[in-house]
Chains A and B, each alone.
Chain A
Amino acid sequence: MEEKEHRKHQKKQSGPKADRKKKRKAPGAGEEEDGRRRNPKAFGVQSAVRMARTFHRAQDLQTKKHHAPQVDRSALEPPPVVIVVVGPPRVGKTTLIQCLIRNFTRQKLSDICGPVTIVSGKKRRLTFIECGNDINSMIDLAKVADLVLMLIDASFGFEMETFEFLNICQVHGFPRIMGVLTHLDFFKNNKQLRKTKKILKHRFWTEVYQGAKLFYLSGMVHSEYQKQEIRNLGRFISVMKFRPLVWQTAHPYVLADRMEDLTDPETLRINPMCDRKVCLYGYLRGTYLKNRSQVHIPGVGDFSLSDVSFLSDPCPLPDSLKKRALNERERLLYAPLSGVGGVVYDKDAVYIDLGGSHADREQEEARPTAELVQSLIGAQATIDVKMAASKVSLFTGSEPLRQGELQEEEGADEGPKEERVWDPETRRERRRAIFTEEEEGSEGEEGSEEESEEEEEDSEGEGEAGEESESEEEEGELEKQPALKRLRVEGGSEAVKEGGGIEVPAFADSEDELEKSEGEVEESEVEGESSEEEEEEEDSEGGGRKAMDSGNCSEEESEGSEVDSPLLEELGSKVKHPKHKEKALEEEEEEEPCFETAGELRWKEGLAQKASEAFLRQQRSTPNLRKLVYGTVAEESEEEESGGGELGGLFHVSRPESEKRRRADGLDCSHYTPDATRDWDQQEVLDSIRDCFVTGKWEDDKDATRLLQEDEELYGDFEDLETGELHQGDSGKQEDQAEEDESGEGEDEDGGKVKGNAEGEKQQRLDKKRRLKERFNTEYDEGDATFFDDLKGEMQRQAELNRAEFSAVDDETRVQYEGFRPGMYLRLEIQSLPCEFITNFDPNYPVILGGLGASEGNVGYLQMRLKKHRWHQRILKTRDPLILSLGWRRFQTLPLYHIEDHNGRNRLLKYTPQHMHCGATLWGPITPQGTGFLAVQSVSGTKAGFRIAATGVVLDLDKSVTVVKKLKLIGYPYKIYKNTAFIKDMFNSVLEVAKFEGAALRTVSGVRGQIKKALRAPPGAYRATFEDRLLMSDIVFLRSWFPVSVPQLYNPVTSLLLPLGEKESWTGMRTVGQLKHDLGVKVKPNKDSLYKPVVRKKRHFNPLHIPKELQRALPFKNKPKNAEKKGKVPRDLQRPAVIKEPHEKKIAALLAALGTVHNHKRKSAQARQREQHKDFLRQRQKQEMDKMKRQKEARKKMFRMIGQREKKQQKSSLKGAAQHD
Chain B
Amino acid sequence: MASSCVSYEGCNFFRQRLVLSTLSGKPVKIRKIRSKDDNPGLRDFEASFIRLMDKITNGTRIEINETGTTLYFQPGLLYGGPVEHDCNLQRSIGYYLEALLALAPFMKNPLKAVLRGVTNDQKDPSVDTLKATAIPLMKRFGIDGEGLELKVLRRGMPPGGGGEVVFSCPVRRFIKPVQLTDPGKVKRIRGMAFSVRVSPQIANRIVDSARSILNQFIPDIYIYTDHMKGANSGKSPGFGLSLIAETTNGTFLSAEMASNPPGQGTPILPEELGKNCAKLLLEEIYRGGCVDSINQSLALLYMTLGQQDVSKVLLGPLSPYTIEFLRHLRSFFQTMFKIETQKPEEDGKGGEKVLMTCVGVGYTNLSKTLK
Contact = CB atoms under 8 A, between A and B. Distances in A.
B248 interface: yes
Given A293-B334, A678-B286, A853 B123 contact: no
Q: Which of B4, B24, B336 has the most CB of A within 10 A?
A: B336
A666 B321 CA distance: 11
Contacts of A664: 9-12, 32
Nearest to B12: A666
B191 to A, nearest CB: 16
B58 interface: yes
A1018 interface: no
Contact of B359 (A293, A687, A697, A817): A817
A818 B359 contact: yes
A680 B277 CA distance: 11
Contact of A686 (B177, B282, B326): B282
A954 B319 CA distance: 41
A956 B370 contact: yes
A675 to B, nearest CB: 7
A959 interface: yes
Contact of B12 (A290, A647, A663, A678): A663
Interface in B257-299: 279-280, 282-283, 285-288, 293-294, 297
Given A671-B123, A858-B2, A290 B334 contact: yes
B349 A691 contact: yes
Given A250-B362, A689-B348, A819 B334 contact: yes
Contact of B323 (A629, A671, A691): A629
Interface string B14-50: 1110000001111000001110110000000000000
Contact of A956 (B98, B318, B369): B369
Interface stretch (A541-549, A554-562, A912-920, A921-929): A921-929
B13 interface: yes
A686 B216 contact: yes
A412 interface: no
Contacts of B321: 669-672
A694 B334 contact: no
Contacts of A675: 283
Interface string A368-390: 00000000000000000000000
Contacts of B213: 680
A1220 interface: no
Given A71-B307, A929-B369, A680 B76 contact: no
A528 interface: no
Contacts of B95: 668-669
A625 B341 CA distance: 8
Nearest to B354: A625
Contacts of A929: 364, 366, 368-370
Interface string A622-654: 010110111100000000000000010011010
Contacts of B108: 956, 958
Interface residues of A, number: 83
A398 to B, nearest CB: 44
B308 A287 contact: yes
A858 B61 CA distance: 13
Contacts of B337: 629, 817
Contacts of A231: none
Interface in A839-867: 853-860
B341 A669 contact: no
B166 interface: no
Given A672-B293, A855-B25, A689 B327 contact: no
Interface string A1033-1070: 00000000000000000100000000000000000000
Nearest to B330: A630
B250 interface: no
Interface string A923-958: 001101110000000000000000000000111111
Interface in A251-282: none
A629 B4 contact: no
Interface in A691-705: 691-698
Contact of A854 (B11, B25, B34, B341): B25
Contact of B320 (A630, A651, A660): A651
Contact of A687 (B123, B318, B347): B347
B333 interface: yes
A802 B327 contact: no
A665 interface: yes
Given A680-B282, A855-B26, A661 B10 contact: yes
B3 A858 contact: yes
B216 to A, nearest CB: 7
Contact of A857 (B3, B36, B280, B368): B3
A957 B347 contact: no
Contact of A665 (B37, B77, B308): B37
A689 B349 contact: yes
Contacts of A631: 327
Given A290-B334, A692-B285, A696-B348, A661 B9 contact: yes
Contacts of B354: 625
A1050 B1 contact: yes
A167 interface: no
Contact of B341 (A291, A623, A651, A816): A623
A1146 to B, nearest CB: 92
A693 B186 contact: yes
A624 B330 CA distance: 18
A334 interface: no
A798 interface: yes
Nearest to B292: A672
A73 interface: yes
B350 A816 contact: no
A691 B366 contact: no
A798 B309 contact: yes
A294 interface: yes
Interface in B335-369: 335-341, 346-351, 354, 357-359, 361-364, 366-369
Given A630-B327, A689-B349, A695 B218 contact: yes
Given A670-B319, A692-B288, A680 B77 contact: no
Interface string A789-828: 0000000001001100110000000001111000000000
B334 A670 contact: no
A1063 B65 CA distance: 46
A663 B9 CA distance: 10
Given A287-B308, A805-B357, A860 B77 contact: yes
Contacts of A668: 11-16, 95
B304 to A, nearest CB: 10
Contacts of B280: 674
Contact of A669 (B34, B124, B310, B363): B124
A960 B3 contact: no
Nearest to B77: A959
A977 B26 CA distance: 63
A1180 interface: no
Nearest to B9: A664
A653 B334 contact: no
Interface string A61-78: 000000000010100000
Contacts of A819: 334, 359
A1110 B264 CA distance: 90
A133 interface: no
B9 A650 contact: no
A292 interface: yes
Interface in B137-188: 177, 179, 185-187
13 contacts: A625-B341, A669-B321, A670-B294, A680-B283, A686-B282, A692-B348, A694-B218, A696-B185, A696-B348, A798-B309, A801-B309, A819-B334, A926-B25
Given A290-B334, A855-B23, A958-B77, 18 more contacts: A287-B362, A293-B334, A628-B323, A629-B323, A661-B32, A668-B12, A670-B98, A670-B321, A686-B217, A695-B218, A806-B338, A817-B338, A818-B359, A857-B1, A858-B25, A925-B1, A926-B366, A959-B76
Closest 9 pairs (CB-CB, A-B): A664-B10, A855-B25, A959-B59, A691-B348, A672-B319, A290-B334, A690-B348, A672-B293, A680-B279
